[in-house]
Amino acid sequence: MSGLTPIVLSALLGLVCVELFGGAWLGLLGILAAVIQWSKGCIDGQRCLGRIHRFGALGLLKGLALTLAFVLYLKVLGLGFAPLEMMAFFLGAVVGQIVFFASVIERINGLFVRGADPDHPDDGN
């Protein structure tokens, strides 16, 4: 590849990697939130298992997508080794972090709302 294509791909990967990594960790936090809510009696066992299944699957899928993105980027395309590509990845990741951190508190708090799961229509109050 030549021109700006590797630089743009590096910046886009940096941006996407933040969301994938953060989403994988939020999946783990979702599992922990479900267990905590179940142990305190806020949700029943069936709803807890449903949340564990959903958050576990989303976390696993995002983690696998992150791994696949790096394999494709580093091994298949052979990018990520030039200093300019590294700088573009870093700047993309910084922008991704700013966007991610702007909403992460609300996303984590949303995991602990009693009985309400905004992503699931059957999980009402």
- The mean pLDDT values, 10 residues at a time, for the chain of 125 residues are 88 96 95 94 92 96 97 94 96 96 92 62 47
Structural domain total, the chain: 1
Q: Is 122 a member of any domain?
A: no
Contacts of 18 (CB under 8 A, 6+ apart): 93, 96, 97, 99, 100
Domain membership of residue 40 (yes or no) is: yes
Task: With respect to residue 71, please indicate whether it lies within any of the assigned structural domains.
Answer: yes
The answer to the question of residue 15 being in a domain is no
What pTM, to 2 d.p., does this model score? Answer: 0.82
DSSP H helical segments within the chain, as ranges? 5-39, 45-70, 83-111
Range of the domain at 61: 20-111
* Residue-level pLDDT at 117: 54
Question: Given this model, what pLDDT does residue 116 score?
Answer: 52
Tell me the three state secondary structure of residue 43: coil
